[in-house]
């Protein structure tokens, strides 16, 4: 992001939406292009979900005048980079899937469009917790697709074998981890993942941390605040006592450990059932889900790991039709049901969480018919940051570097947070932000 773009980001995300490229107002000179007379509208859609083609096929069959062509150029951060590059070349897609934490950077760079006017009826189908992930100064920049409250996944067979109770507080989680370590030194409660910051971000959100906030055009960064350090110190203790492993998630070693019973729990987003079949295929029916342990008994607050929105780009010549598709994809019962079935999402739309398809357990959890009811009960209490920073990639990279080093050297997790704070602040200053 160039320095000038960073300043625009500061204004945008602090609530002074000055970026003309993010306006929902149409250029009168493009009216003919946006509404071709008697012709079929062709829309391009960038998305990395497997089986999304089956969902798009439902739209194309029901909407012969608006055809959507799906491509998968990349996923996650790579897709964001491709979107920015395509926007600079004026050849971006009409519609794109964007992770919530990446949306501020795309808004500030004028890549995605304000679709408030086109989604007035759609936004009523989302609760404030979900919708605020796509809104800036009350304007909507995407229709939420999926929602991923952080949950506790545990091996029922291992808990029974070693006499463990499903923990409801973090204090109890540590107690059960100690018991497991004593009874079965070769089985760990879980692993501490320094390679993927998503789970740790969700944990600090649950604890009340706000890594970024803005007042006017002045930003505050609080990555190493008290809430985050409480979480870091808790996990440092588990690591140093040998009660959790140090290896990264989604590695071949971790996959093997998940499959062979070397790990008793996985702290993950509600999307975990879609991944477990590939991670640990031999464990079908052995897992169950529970609310994330609380810092205070009875508190339902959890964090969020992942989740995405469907955005309309500022390069689209057919923004009204693109917004129509984004709305359909995430609010139409048939479309949302198809995504649950084909992609294993947990719906962002409030009405989507009561669809008949969610009355049955995910295929990998045949032993837990109330799986989705548990997630539904937790979802309203999930919290994210009030705003994601414009340099999330820098912060996440620093997380990987500093926590990996701390794991390898036995160093302080608090110091790792300090390093993240310094790296994030230095980068924002370099980009031209004002920090208080």
Rounded to whole angstroms, what are the CA distances from 358 to 73, 123, 340, 351, 371?
30, 22, 8, 11, 9
pLDDT for res 214? 87
Query: Closest by alpha carbon to 289, among 154, 106, 146, 147?
Result: 154
pLDDT for res 151? 98
| 91 φ/ψ angles, rounded to the nearest 5 degrees | -135, 40
Rounded to an integer, what distance in angstroms lies between the CA atom of residue 412 and that of residue 274?
A: 34
CB proximity list for 227: less than 8 A, separation 6 or greater: 204, 207, 208, 209
pLDDT for res 16? 31
pLDDT for res 306? 87
pLDDT for res 228? 98
pLDDT for res 39? 77
Same fold, 3-147+307-359 and 150-304+386-435: yes
pLDDT for res 38? 58
Domain 150-304+386-435 is of which CATH architecture? 3-Layer(aba) Sandwich (3.40)
Rounded to an integer, what distance in angstroms lies between the CA atom of residue 311 and that of residue 103?
A: 9
Within 13 A of 195's CA, how many CA atoms are on the CB side?
A: 8
Domain 3-147+307-359 has CATH 3.90.1150.10: no
Domain locations along the chain: 3-147+307-359, 150-304+386-435
pLDDT for res 27? 38
Low-confidence ranges of the chain (pLDDT < 50): 1-35
Q: H helices of 333-391, where?
A: 333-343, 371-378
pLDDT for res 274? 87
Task: Provide, rounded to the nearest whole percent, the portion of the chain with pLDDT above 90.
Answer: 80
């Amino acid at each position: 992001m160039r320095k000038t773009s960073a300043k625009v980001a500061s204004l945008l995300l602090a609530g002074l939406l000055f970026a003309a490229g993010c306006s929902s107002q149409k250029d009168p000179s493009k009216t003919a292009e946006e509404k071709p007379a008697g012709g079929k509208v062709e829309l391009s859609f960038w998305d990395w979900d497997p089986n999304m083609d089956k969902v798009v096929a439902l739209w194309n069959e029901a909407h012969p005048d608006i055809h959507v062509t799906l491509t998968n150029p990349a996923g996650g951060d790579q897709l964001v980079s491709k979107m920015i590059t395509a926007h600079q070349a004026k050849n971006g897609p009409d519609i794109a899937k964007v992770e919530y934490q990446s949306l501020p950077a795309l808004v500030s760079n004028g890549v995605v469009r304000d679709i408030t006017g086109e989604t007035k009826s759609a936004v009523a189908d989302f609760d404030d917790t979900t919708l605020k992930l796509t809104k800036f100064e009350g304007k909507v920049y995407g229709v939420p697709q999926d929602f991923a409250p952080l949950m506790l996944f545990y091996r029922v067979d291992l808990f029974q074998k070693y006499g463990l109770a499903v923990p409801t507080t973090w204090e109890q989680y540590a107690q059960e981890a100690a018991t497991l370590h004593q009874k079965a030194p070769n089985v760990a409660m879980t692993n501490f993942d320094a390679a993927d910051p998503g789970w740790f971000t969700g944990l600090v959100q649950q604890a009340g941390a706000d890594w970024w906030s803005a007042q006017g055009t002045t930003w505050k960064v609080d990555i190493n605040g008290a809430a985050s350090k409480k979480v870091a110190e808790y996990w440092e203790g588990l690591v140093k006592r040998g009660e959790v492993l140090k290896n990264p998630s989604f590695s071949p070693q971790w996959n093997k450990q998940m499959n062979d019973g070397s790990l008793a729990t996985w702290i993950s987003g509600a999307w975990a059932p879609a991944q477990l079949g590939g991670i640990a295929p031999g464990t079908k029916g052995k897992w169950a889900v529970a609310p994330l342990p609380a810092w205070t008994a009875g508190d339902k607050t959890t964090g969020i790991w992942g989740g995405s929105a469907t955005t309309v780009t500022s390069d689209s010549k057919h923004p009204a039709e693109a917004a129509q598709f984004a709305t359909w994809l995430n609010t139409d019962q048939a479309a949302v049901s198809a995504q649950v079935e084909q992609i294993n999402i947990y719906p962002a739309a409030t009405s989507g969480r009561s669809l008949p398809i969610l009355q049955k357990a995910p295929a990998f959890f045949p032993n837990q018919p109330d799986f989705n009811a548990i997630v539904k009960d937790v979802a309203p209490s999930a919290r994210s940051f009030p705003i994601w920073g414009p340099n999330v990639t820098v912060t996440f990279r620093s997380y990987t570097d500093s926590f990996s080093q701390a794991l390898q050297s036995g160093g302080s997790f608090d110091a790792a947070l300090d390093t993240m704070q310094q790296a994030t602040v230095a980068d924002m200053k370099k980009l031209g932000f004002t920090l208080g």
